[in-house]
Structure 1
């Protein structure tokens, strides 16, 4: 069945199935068995999605009509599927075992990847063994990761999520993340750091990112004020660079010995698996980092080889395609019921909206259907006291992802174990009420404003336990889900041209900030430039 025929069949199904309520679908005693799927330490529960067996069959036919299998193979084999930039998207190659071989343009890139991982391991070992010394000869005890986007969100999310897995040698190293362009994070942090014991990690694929280089320059000036040793030695003792453009980093002043490399076939939002994950390796050790890679690699193998009917990324993607394109649901809440995953919603916001927030297809034509929804989220128990009112009684249809670990605090006291049971109960309760509404407690609302309609679809992802391997699998699950959706929508998920024009305009406006502006902008911009000029320089508006 071709894509157009499959799409029309789903539209016809939606005409009848959109009236189905989850409280009726969940009466089927076999529903959980039919719509839950396991892969290693991860369970995907789609039983609260507004799916029927007929819907799922039709969605799988849509995937087949879009040649999904061929696209998956193209992704893994290194074809230039990033068509607007004419390069492959090989983040999966970053997590292959060392004994594998992967040839790209005559080069075994797997050897290149593991060579860089070995160099990273050497630097991490120096920090853990207190052999990396600052300008005073004291050992480094603080790492500041300077980056933005994928060079910040991914490493920060994983470091926070897996903090309990840090080896003893890592506990002496404090890690901070800096991304804000305005300097507010860095200026506040520097007041509490010892320059003689601080190492800055400058992570930028192009080493031209204005946000990152502005923060790096401030850090360099701070070190210069604290020490009188010459720049080359100062920077060698207090800076590491991670980039795909090492020549740019050396022009900035970094030592070639302190540069780690990754490649232009790695998108920034897919880069935590590379040397961009340096902070992760410092936090949980190289063994932990390798376990993270292994979890992702196992999900890669599952995605590449499992049939669609049991393929977790495919099924998760298709359930959301049904919601977005056929049930008109265009808001998506990410709700981890685990404080360790506090940064996961922000990470997924970038992964999904930067990848699939597109309105032009691979052929340069405007798409005729919805693509990526608006994502937002928060730790579930906190969100219950913030925006769950909208989820339960608002006028917007919203799909939700609940993410929770079954086991936690096994070696801790009863109080913490009790808190975990409370968290699990709240997670299941919220998913149940969103699906069933008032009928969750078999009682009718006493008034209109106490009524819960229900029928809000949700997915529940259950981890046996939050470990490096489980988190690696979870992240890869979402990466591949995004790719599957891009295939269905015929868009390129590996470019981000939508962020470029704003950067160019900022460079155009920068000379006019704090100076008398020239004409030539729109009236709103000219008016604000005049106001800024008056407020910052005291001169009268033009």
Structure 2
């Protein structure tokens, strides 16, 4: 069943929300908390080891009622069912969307997913235990994952986030075609104990194959048998075999899993090598539990739905165009970059599901950094700037290595959400303090945030967290009546890059606009 095509701005709920916005747009959260000291009881969700506090938002009960009415009117429940059941909801490419199938419990897995997981388990356990060795007979000590986009960001994020679960293997990620960083990595590694994982669905991705060629040559220069050191994750098995990779060392990729949703598949083999297959399964199980919560929970207690509705509220009514994600744990420093791909590649669309130009805002701009680093960078703008940036604060009750330092970290975590909401306006008035700088020290407050508090960063909780943001993104796109699972804008740039590469190598510049022609000629002139 295709997704319904409903312009959200033409619904009755949207009109009600617009009127409601005019009534509450200047209401301050400080006032809402003062009027209802128990406000938190109405605006939080507890699920598994997650606590979501969304009370520090510019909302009332009426706001939530109208947002869920919008979700009902566009028939969001039918959209969720289509996603979970694996309907062909990527209609522009004629593909099903089945990343949730990758993390089904064992007794519900389809045959090819189960076979792929068995293959990953056998392979990773043999490498970790030292049963599978390089061509000189030495066990592997290092793994290089070569991919780009979803073939890099997801696995890299998870591997870094779960470093406390790391075994003896050192996993490195190469995505950019930057020869300087590649040479630096090669200088640190022993080729005889290095395993190279090449991740490319087509096995023709320009950046990935270009980087793979460098490492393949490196292995050959050191008199190693490449078939003992190269592994592929691809749907193009003939091309991978032709490249010199043994069939048993090729892991599958499927059309029904988009790149930015693929870390749960064999694309995550580098993560499974880093943390072990059992921990990788815990990651999948955590995501599956969030899938079940998303599919079965009423909207007002449904974490991804609530977060998405709040995003629509701010993006389409307050015209707050950006959202920040600030994790208070250094291991999640990759999370904002990962979410940029998940959110902006999915919902960066200006044509609706009916093929019409949209007349409303769609995808939000997502950015962020680790706290407390971010507090000493862009939080000044958060607190006193002219732009309002709704922010997700992500914190963990228990550190992997407990210490008093964690309390200090979390004290900052809690203090920032309180300061953003309350501000300190009026407390430092010039006449009251005789401080000539008092006006510059005032904070207006009323800055919205969500607090996502999780017991501990584990493979399972990380799986749930990432699945939560995936589903939030789906809900946003569904309500905006756009297709979230294609990325034609990205693909067009790749075509142009291939053409320009040929021109640079031949030094024959073809027809371009005057700016691009000028730049290409300047590049060739200065190139050594």
Determine the C-alpha separation between the residues in 2 that align with 1:293 and 1:155: 13
Match of 1:9 among 6, 9, 16: 16
Q: Which position in structure 1 is the counterpart of 2:181? A: 185
Q: Which position in structure 2 is the counterpart of 1:105? A: none
State how 1:521-540 maps to structure 2 within 5 Å. Answer: 521-536=512-527
Q: Which position in structure 1 is the counterpart of 2:145? A: 145
Determine the C-alpha separation between the residues in 1 that align with 2:54 and 2:150: 29
**Structure 1 residue 135: Cα displacement:** 2.0
**Structure 1 residue 245: Cα displacement:** 2.1
Q: Which position in structure 2 is the counterpart of 1:38? A: 46
**Structure 1 residue 444: Cα displacement:** 4.6
Q: Which position in structure 2 is the counterpart of 1:327? A: 318
State how 1:258-407 maps to structure 2 within 5 Å. Answer: 258-407=249-398
Q: Structure 1 residues 444 and 303 mapped into 2: Cα distance closer, same or farther (>3 Å)?
A: farther
Contact 1:514/1:533 (8 A) holds in 2: no
Q: Which position in structure 1 is the counterpart of 2:3? A: none
Determine the C-alpha separation between the residues in 1 that align with 2:292 and 2:505: 55
**Structure 1 residue 516: Cα displacement:** 3.8
Q: Structure 1 residues 99 and 514 mapped into 2: Cα distance closer, same or farther (>3 Å)?
A: closer
Contact 2:220/2:226 (8 A) holds in 1: no
**Structure 1 residue 307: Cα displacement:** 0.8
Residue-by-residue CA offset, 1:476-532 (whole Å, 9 max, x unaligned): 110000011111100111111111121111111112215443442111111122212
Q: Which position in structure 2 is the counterpart of 1:448? A: 439
Determine the C-alpha separation between the residues in 2 that align with 1:137 and 1:395: 62
Q: Do residues 428 (structure 1) and 414 (structure 2) align?
A: yes
Q: Which position in structure 2 is the counterpart of 1:495? A: 486
Q: Which position in structure 1 is the counterpart of 2:206? A: 210
**Structure 1 residue 429: Cα displacement:** 0.8
Q: Which position in structure 2 is the counterpart of 1:225? A: 221
Corresponding residue SS for 1:144: strand
Contact 1:515/1:533 (8 A) holds in 2: no
**Structure 1 residue 358: Cα displacement:** 0.9
Corresponding residue SS for 2:20: helix
Q: Which position in structure 2 is the counterpart of 1:104? A: none
**Structure 1 residue 442: Cα displacement:** 5.3
Contact 2:504/2:524 (8 A) holds in 1: yes
Contact 1:45/1:461 (8 A) holds in 2: yes
Corresponding residue SS for 2:245: coil
**Structure 1 residue 188: Cα displacement:** 1.1
Determine the C-alpha separation between the residues in 1 that align with 2:233 and 2:89: 25
Determine the C-alpha separation between the residues in 2 that align with 1:285 and 1:44: 30
Contact 1:144/1:201 (8 A) holds in 2: yes
Contact 1:317/1:485 (8 A) holds in 2: yes
Corresponding residue SS for 1:99: helix
Corresponding residue SS for 1:380: coil
**Structure 1 residue 118: Cα displacement:** 0.6
Determine the C-alpha separation between the residues in 1 that align with 2:57 and 2:203: 43
Residue-by-residue CA offset, 1:352-398 (whole Å, 9 max, x unaligned): 01011111111111111111111111101001111111111111111
Q: Do residues 161 (structure 1) and 161 (structure 2) align?
A: yes
Normalising by structure 1, report the TM-score. 0.92
Determine the C-alpha separation between the residues in 2 that align with 1:4 and 1:183: 53
Q: Which position in structure 1 is the counterpart of 2:114? A: 114
Determine the C-alpha separation between the residues in 2 that align with 1:289 and 1:442: 51
Determine the C-alpha separation between the residues in 2 that align with 1:74 and 1:514: 47
Q: Do residues 176 (structure 1) and 172 (structure 2) align?
A: yes
Larger deviation, residues 337-346 vs 240-249: 240-249
Q: RMSD of the TM alignment (CA)?
A: 1.6
Determine the C-alpha separation between the residues in 2 that align with 1:174 and 1:387: 33
Match of 2:100 among 92, 101, 120: 92
Determine the C-alpha separation between the residues in 1 that align with 2:200 and 2:255: 12
Corresponding residue SS for 1:80: coil
Determine the C-alpha separation between the residues in 2 that align with 1:515 and 1:276: 35
Determine the C-alpha separation between the residues in 1 that align with 2:358 and 2:239: 38
Determine the C-alpha separation between the residues in 1 that align with 2:133 and 2:276: 19
Contact 1:517/1:530 (8 A) holds in 2: no
Match of 1:463 among 454, 464, 471: 454
Corresponding residue SS for 1:37: strand
**Structure 1 residue 464: Cα displacement:** 1.0
In structure 1, the gaps of 5 or more residues are: 102-109, 538-542
Residue-by-residue CA offset, 1:458-486 (whole Å, 9 max, x unaligned): 11111011111111110111000001111
**Structure 1 residue 244: Cα displacement:** 2.1
Q: Which position in structure 2 is the counterpart of 1:135? A: 135
Determine the C-alpha separation between the residues in 2 that align with 1:518 and 1:46: 55
**Structure 1 residue 443: Cα displacement:** 4.9
**Structure 1 residue 100: Cα displacement:** 1.2
Corresponding residue SS for 2:124: helix
Q: Which position in structure 1 is the counterpart of 2:404? A: 418
Determine the C-alpha separation between the residues in 2 that align with 1:247 and 1:492: 31
Q: Do residues 49 (structure 1) and 57 (structure 2) align?
A: yes
Q: Do residues 75 (structure 1) and 71 (structure 2) align?
A: no
**Structure 1 residue 433: Cα displacement:** 1.1
Determine the C-alpha separation between the residues in 2 that align with 1:444 and 1:478: 42
Contact 1:292/1:468 (8 A) holds in 2: yes
Contact 1:243/1:249 (8 A) holds in 2: yes
Determine the C-alpha separation between the residues in 1 that align with 2:525 and 2:101: 53
Determine the C-alpha separation between the residues in 1 that align with 2:485 and 2:289: 22
